Structure 1
Amino acid sequence: MNEDHYIKKIDRVTSILTQLQTKSIVRAQDLADKFDVSIRTIYRDIKTLENAGIPIFGEAGSGYSLVDGYKLPPVMFTKEEVLSFITAEKLMQKFSHESLDSHYNSAMEKVKAVIRNSEKNLVQNIENQIDIYSYRPENSDNVKNIIPTILESIADKKQLKFHYQNVKDEASERIIEAVGIFYEVNYWYVMAFCTMRKDFRQFRVDRILKIEKTENPFHQEYGNVGDYRKKSKNQKVGVRLLVEKKILPFLVNSKKYYGLVAEEESDNKMLMTFETEWIEEGFPRWLITFADFAEIIEPKYLKDTMNDLISKISNQLNKK
């Protein structure tokens, strides 16, 4: 066998050891899929680790884990991994939720603490050479540590009770079983089963006025949040816009994201048909970026939504 084969094996075995350190149980099939090798190869890699004195509990066909209480020396990071951490930190500073910031910063301090001295100079030299330019709404949540509270409720399978203010500034009390959180169009949302509506709903996190984790358990296994994002798209609203062709090249990368289903030429304009679930927030905010080149055909109430949004923007700009 050539040298390249042994290098790949060493990298794979090292990565498997890292997986064992970070997960309670690691399945051989998952490892085989991750490294694109056969399960037999994974069995041999596990045997290599055992022969090196790593106490691994488990067997083929079920899963593997490190014997409880066994401690390994701190993981050493490669230069490429250190650079990826710096980039990820910059992204977190722009896109993370404020309730996660302090926790992430604390975690990054621990990561940096185990970086070799030679790599610490690299961190200092490169941190100021990376920046992320992105719009982030200047709004502050009403509840401290709101996302950690939501995530704890998912981990503990306990219902949440909160007061929620909708887009019309109407407040209501809800009891939910949280499925997960997601980030979309500059805002964080929680996807959940609403016990009042008896259906799945998404709630914008910054509209939650008060929240508490109850002691009421829920037993339903909801699966991945992405699955319910797809299901939620059953609640769609049809939108038709007559758009000037000269603006179309600027919409290529976003029109499908906002639910484009059909286009039909009409003189020097394009009749665009959408099916969107974001009729109250996301779609109007996207439409406003090219509203001077578009005519709303339907639904008619979208015109009122746009007028309200434009008025809010105008009032905000005219504040002294």
Structure 2
Amino acid sequence: MNKTDRLLAIVLNLQRKDVVRAGDLATQFETSVRTIYRDIQALCEAGVPIIGAPGTGYSLMKGYFLPPISFTVPEAVSLLIGTDFIEQQFDDDYRVKAQDARGKIEAILPESVLDETFRVRKAIRLLISDKHLNQSKEKEYLEKIRRAILDERKIGFHYSKRHADSEGKRHSVRVAAPYGLVLVEGSWMLVARCDLRQEIRHFRLSRMTELIDLGERFELPIHFNLREYTPLDNRHLLVRLRFNNEIADKVKESNFYYIEDMEEHQDGFHVVLRVRHLDEVLQWVLGWGSDAFVLEPKSLRNVIREEAQKILKRY
């Protein structure tokens, strides 16, 4: 990045945040803190009202806005593909907003940039399967939860877990304070503080039913930041598999969520999975048929054997 682009990027960072540290800017732009100090000085001399000093952080004087800027072709393509993504994956309200935003972006682009952007976008296609979303109430729930998050109101819902709890139950009624929504491999996940468990839990929208807005207010903890939030990883069980080398590429392309490590050996393609319950990988392993062999744990080999016997009896 040249100096001109970096100066512009610094101003944009200052517009988006209350205070920006020189060290953070240096890390972002892969340069030295001393260079950032010189950039700040250059911006001040150019008339940009920056407040602050080395060691404390910098901010823009309130009321200052950067004049409208133009977009390059790659920047315009990025924005327009972003609207395509939102239109496909978000609820109906944001789908309409994405369409409106795309129209505004296209309206302000110079004709030459718009033509080149259109040419590039013709060579790029964003395919996201939303078949599941269209066949369920997930999009409807997405909008309700999104509004509850913004208004800081609790929600109630029935929830079906994949695995039974310690009491053998899979279905429960929950009341939760919604903190945020996360899109994980095409599935929406709610991060919320569950009243029943008295801690932060994760809920798949696809497993919710009878969702209602309770209207009860809650206060989002000051220390909670969804972008910085790291869930507790309680996947402690390791599963080691060996696949025939002929299907190694297929295994890699499966992008199975629980894969921890993969390595090619003379006797086959070795894969390590890390899970909470063996049931989480049973169907996936069975799907590979005789091309997969469970090295450990022995308990999973026994379960696979039992399932194979059941299949043999059925046929």
TM-score, normalised relative to structure 2 = 0.72
How far residue 276 of structure 1 moved from its aligned partner, in angstroms, is 1.3
Map 1:262-281 onto structure 2 (within 5 A).
274-277=273-276
How far residue 77 of structure 1 moved from its aligned partner, in angstroms, is 1.0
The root-mean-square deviation of aligned C-alpha atoms, in Å, is: 4.1
Q: Check if 1:27 corresponds to 2:27.
A: no
Q: Which residue of 2 aligns with 1:201?
A: 201
Deviant stretches of 4+, over 6 Å: 261-265, 267-271, 300-306
Q: Which residue of 2 aligns with 1:84?
A: 78
Q: Deviations over 1:245-287 (max 9, x none)?
A: 533342246578524469899x977786532147666x45644
Indicate which of 133, 137, 143 corresponds to 1:142.
137
In 2, the alpha carbon distance for the partners of 1:82 and 1:262 equals: 38
- Structure 2 residue matching 1:24: 3-state secondary structure: coil
Q: Which residue of 2 aligns with 1:70?
A: 64
In 1, the alpha carbon distance for the partners of 2:27 and 2:131 equals: 40
- The aligned length equals 295
Indicate which of 283, 287, 290 corresponds to 2:288.
290
In 2, the alpha carbon distance for the partners of 1:171 and 1:163 equals: 11
Indicate which of 2, 21, 26 corresponds to 1:8.
2
Calculate percent identity across the aligned residue pairs.
26
Indicate which of 109, 112, 115 corresponds to 1:115.
109
Q: Which residue of 1 aligns with 2:230?
A: 228
Q: Deviations over 1:83-129 (max 9, x none)?
A: 333444444455x3335433333333333333223212223333333
Given that residues 159 and 218 in structure 1 are in contact (C-alpha distance below 8 angstroms), is that contact kept between their aligned partners in structure 2? Answer: no
In 2, the alpha carbon distance for the partners of 1:98 and 1:279 equals: 34
How far residue 152 of structure 1 moved from its aligned partner, in angstroms, is 6.2
In 1, the alpha carbon distance for the partners of 2:261 and 2:8 equals: 47
How far residue 204 of structure 1 moved from its aligned partner, in angstroms, is 0.8
Distance change (3 Å), C-alpha of 1:292 and 1:242: same
Partner AA of 2:176 in structure 1: I
Partner AA of 2:2 in structure 1: K
Distance change (3 Å), C-alpha of 1:125 and 1:246: closer
Distance change (3 Å), C-alpha of 1:186 and 1:37: closer
- Structure 1 residue matching 2:158: 3-state secondary structure: strand
In 2, the alpha carbon distance for the partners of 1:145 and 1:25 equals: 37
Map 1:154-233 onto structure 2 (within 5 A).
158=152, 160-167=154-161, 171-209=171-209, 210-212=211-213, 214-219=216-221, 221-224=223-226, 227-229=229-231, 231=232, 233=233
How far residue 21 of structure 1 moved from its aligned partner, in angstroms, is 2.5
Given that residues 167 and 280 in structure 1 are in contact (C-alpha distance below 8 angstroms), is that contact kept between their aligned partners in structure 2? Answer: no
Relative to structure 2, which stretch is displaced further, 270-279 or 209-218? 270-279
TM-score, normalised relative to structure 1 = 0.71
Q: Which residue of 2 aligns with 1:313?
A: none
Indicate which of 20, 34, 37 corresponds to 1:43.
37
- Structure 2 residue matching 1:228: 3-state secondary structure: coil
Given that residues 73 and 117 in structure 2 are in contact (C-alpha distance below 8 angstroms), is that contact kept between their aligned partners in structure 1? Answer: no
Distance change (3 Å), C-alpha of 1:236 and 1:108: farther
> What stretches of structure 1 of length at least 5 have no aligned partner?
1-6, 307-320
- Structure 2 residue matching 1:176: 3-state secondary structure: strand
Q: Deviations over 1:161-186 (max 9, x none)?
A: 23033156965332334454333343
In 2, the alpha carbon distance for the partners of 1:31 and 1:285 equals: 47
In 2, the alpha carbon distance for the partners of 1:61 and 1:148 equals: 42
In 2, the alpha carbon distance for the partners of 1:150 and 1:279 equals: 31
How far residue 13 of structure 1 moved from its aligned partner, in angstroms, is 0.8
In 2, the alpha carbon distance for the partners of 1:106 and 1:284 equals: 45
In 1, the alpha carbon distance for the partners of 2:230 and 2:159 equals: 22
In 1, the alpha carbon distance for the partners of 2:55 and 2:6 equals: 20
Distance change (3 Å), C-alpha of 1:14 and 1:153: same
- Structure 1 residue matching 2:234: 3-state secondary structure: coil
